Every structure is written in C-alpha cells, then in structure tokens.
Amino acid sequence: MELDKNAVKNAQLWLNSSVSEDIKNEIRRLQAEDVNEFNDAFYKKLSFGTGGLRGIMGVGTNRMNSVVVSQSTQGFANYILQENKDKKEIKVAVSFDSRNNSKEFAQIVAKVFAANGIKVYLFEEIHPTPLLSFAVRELGCDAGVMLTASHNPKEYNGYKAYWNDGGQLVPPHDVNVIDQVNKITDISQVKIQQGMENITLLDGSFDEIYYKKTESISLATANLDTFKNIRIAYTPLHGTGYKMIPEALRRWGFKNIICEPEQSKPDGNFPTCLSPNPEERVALERVLKLAEENACDIALASDPDADREALCVRNQKGEMVLLNGNQTATLLTYYILLRNKELLRLRGKEFVIKTIVTSELIKVIADSFGVKCYDVLTGFKWIADKVLELEGKEKYIGGGEESYGYMPSDIVRDKDAVATCCLLAEMAAWAKQQGRTLYEILLEIYQQYGYYQESLLSIVRKGKTGAEEIEKMMSDFRLNPPKEILGQKVVMIKDYQRQLSADLVKNTTEKITLPESNVLQFYLKDGSKISVRPSGTEPKIKFYFGVRSEYSIGDNFEQLQEKSIEKIEKIKQELNLQ
C-alpha cells in the first residue's frame, strides 16, 4: 500500500510542531513499518462532530490523543468565551469515565479551560455522564465536557460537549464550536497550565445533591415499601455505575441488590466482556448467571459511562430475558403515564418524547392517556433541546430512544441510567405488588395497543473506504428508493436531509420541520417502518425495522414474535442487507 498524500501532509505538520519527541518517534515508526495504520491515523482530522469527538486512541490527527483533545478544547474555550464575553465569571464542568486515558484527557481539558480564564469544576473520580449534565445545571455552568466513548470497544475514547442547559450541543452552537475547533491547527495555539489553578475538584459530597433531587422522580406510594424487597442483580460492566447505581437503589428503599463482583471493578480494558454494550446479551452473561443463582426478580446493567441501562426480566417460563430498548422505554412510558394519572397529575400540559427511530407504540400509549408525544431526531441532545424549548409552557414527564437510553425527568438533560435503574426497580416492585411480572405487564400492553416488533441492524465499515461505502449506500437509497417490499407498497418516504415527506398514495409532499439530518424512512402499507441512517459516532450505517401485528388474549406470543422476526429478516434479504 502507498502512503496517502493527505496522511503524509498531516503527519509532517505534527513533525514540524512542538509535540513531544515520543509522539514524533511514533509517527516515524508508523510511516516506516505500518503504512495502513499510518494512512488511517493521519489521512484526515478526527472530526469534532455535532456531539464532540469519538475515535480510536493513538497517535494521529484521526485518533483520540492529548494533542487532539487539547486543540479541540482550545477551540471550544474560544467559543465559550466569545458567547459569554459580558460575564464576570465563566464556568465549565468536566467529568470522565473508567476508560483508559479518560482521567488524563479530563485533566488536559480542565487545564486548557483554566488557562483561558474559565473556572473549572472537575470531578475528582470517575462519574456517570448524567452527573456531568446535572453538574452543568446545578452549578450554573456555561458548558461541560464528558470524556467517554460510551459503549464502544476498549480501543476507543471520546469527548462529549455540553451547553449551559445541560444538554449536548445543538444548533447553532454545535456548528459554531466546530468552526472554532477547526481554526486550531497547531499545538502552539493551545493555552494550557501546569498546575491546578482555577480548578475546583468535586468530591462525593456533590453526589448527595443529585441523590436527593433524583428521589423526587419516584412515583411510588407508601404501601409499595413492602415490595421493595425484590431481588436485583446488577452489573456496571467495569464502568462508572459501580458505586452510584447501587447507592441510589438503596436510597430508594431497595436493599437486596447483588452486584456482579468482577465487573464492579472499574477497568478500561473491560476484561470480562468482549464489548461493554448492554444492548448485547453476550455482555450480560455474568449478571444473568448471577440473577439465576440468586433467584432475582430482575437484572440491570449500565454501560461504561452509566447513561444507558439494560433491563432483564423473567418471561412466562421463568427464564431471564433481555428486553430491547423499545420494550424498556414502552414499559417506562406506560408506568409513568398510568401512575401520573392515578396520582391526578395529568392536567393537560404534560408531554413525552421519543426519537424518530423509536417504537411508534410509545406515541400510541401517550395518545391513549391524552398526553402529547413529540418526535425528535436521533440523540438525546434533541430530547434535551425540546425540553428547553417547552420549559415553562409544558411539563416533561419522560422520554427515550431505542438504544437503551431514557431520561426520566428534566433534572438531568441527557440519558440517565442511575435514575432510570431506580425507576425500573420501582416498576418491578409495583408489578409484584399486583402479583404480576414486568413481562406480563408488557404482554398486556401489547394486547391493548398491538404488538410492535423492532430490530436494529448495524453494518460496520471502517476507515476511509468504509466511510465512502456508507456514503454510497445512503446515496443509492436516496436516488433509487424501494417501491415495494415483501409485496407491500411503500406508501411514504421521509427524507430528513431534504426535509421532505412524500405521500406516494396521494402524490403529495410536506416539509419536515425537524432539523436537517441524513436519515431516510420508508413506510409500508401495512404500517411497517424502515429507517436508515449513518451513525454519528461510529463507523456504521444503521437500519431500524419496525413491524406491527394484532395480539389477543389466547394467542401464542412466541409464535407471533417468531413470525414478526421472520418478517424483518425477509425485509433485510429483500434490501440485500444479509
């Protein structure tokens, strides 16, 4: 393989700069010994996207490392200063997860901000992402940074950027920050201090504020306390939830919490699981075994930065099954709406939120309670943005997306596994109080509203050629959309990049009012929905499938489920995705 011209050019800029000799020596070694790795590491700059940075750790402009982190922070600092030039004191919060280098990167971020005259609140130890969002609001900060790559493999790290509402960056701030970051082309442009001046460390006492405020989310009545003796198995998957989630559960009254011992040790190498992703059952093998050995009612898991959670429940055969993100969000939505109704709290101004690729069942449930359900683009920054837009006018009571994330209140403006795990445990106790399981509650929901089966297919395409292939796939779907799938006509196409919704039956178009995004959706005559979008944080293109069926008392649920899954597999085959 030949050396890429852009890679050579970008590498030379670093070799001519003031980066350390260790970094320069590694650049020379890669160029001489591993051309493939050299090209991928330097052929472009790691994009500071609309949510921040995420990439493989290592030397290179296309990697997560101290140089990229410090330059990005200088650009972010410049924008924060520009937007708050009339303020006497500008403040930011910084936190980090259990990944390798997260703490070192967080200290670099803090020292760059502080060197720019910005007061920094830096978490002393690893903390969940929701605590960073909470800190931004609670401490009156102007921005925040969380060092994490969420559920990605151990080779990755990332940088999530937040604004003063506690949500991740949205327009115009996202593109404006990107512009400022792109102006930082050399390490010499970065201000960084050596000491800890202007940096305040946040210790465990700050957690107390979060615990107290989170307890207000509870929808339990006093007589539920008897049922809080349910047995809960939990794993943090070597991440930041190891301390706060068990403690939060205890404060909500749950005492029988059994933590997976090995995975309760924070470790950026994630030694006991191939991938620290709670969406994948293989990552939960240990906690499921723990749940069986201890006859637990439910099992819970959180990802490394503890913003997403997984729920496992017992099915009709008594087996532990992992619910998907849509099912968990469906149960939470139903519970929150039902309990608010029983507590006479639904007064006509409440609303829930889901993303456009999340199950339509959530909207159907909300409609049945007379509660508004808003659709937003994929990503919790859009949920937070909608909450901010409606603040003081309407009341947010819950929202989530299919990727195992939920935001149970507006105390935190991002997905929050700490509070959500508490609400899931409460929901399980509530079901047990009625002599039922959460699985039985879910089946009752399906009987009332219809059975919705969803599935996600992620196709990974790494590196430069992978990015080009993903771009071509989106272009092909946009230029030559399917007219029919499985004998069902495509009746509507929504193109969020062109911001047009085309009704192919009426032959009419409508403008989509959501922001522009590279997403396509195809709706079939029978109500099935296929969504396609490139991931904003990983080298993937994602396909979301949703099919609906009627489900009545007496029907064989397993057979219905198998038929629905089979239908989704046939859709994949027809779209040549196998």
Give me the active site residues, please: 150
Contacts of 573 (CB under 8 A, 6+ apart): none
Residue 535, both tokens: 């991931």
By DSSP bridging, strand 350-355 and strand 372-376 are: parallel
Question: By the 8 A CB rule, do 458 and 540 touch?
Answer: yes
Question: By the 8 A CB rule, do 346 and 340 touch?
Answer: yes
Contacts of 195 (CB under 8 A, 6+ apart): none
Amino acid occupying residue 99 = R
Contacts of 28 (CB under 8 A, 6+ apart): 15
| Rounded-to-integer distance, Cα 371 and Cα 200, Å | 43
| Rounded-to-integer distance, Cα 389 and Cα 9, Å | 44
| Rounded-to-integer distance, Cα 187 and Cα 143, Å | 23
Question: By the 8 A CB rule, do 293 and 287 touch?
Answer: no
| Half-sphere exposure of residue 486: CA atoms within 13 angstroms, side-chain side | 19
Residue 264, both tokens: 């309760």
Calculate the alpha carbon distances from 334 to 25, 176, 214, 390 in Å.
58, 39, 20, 22
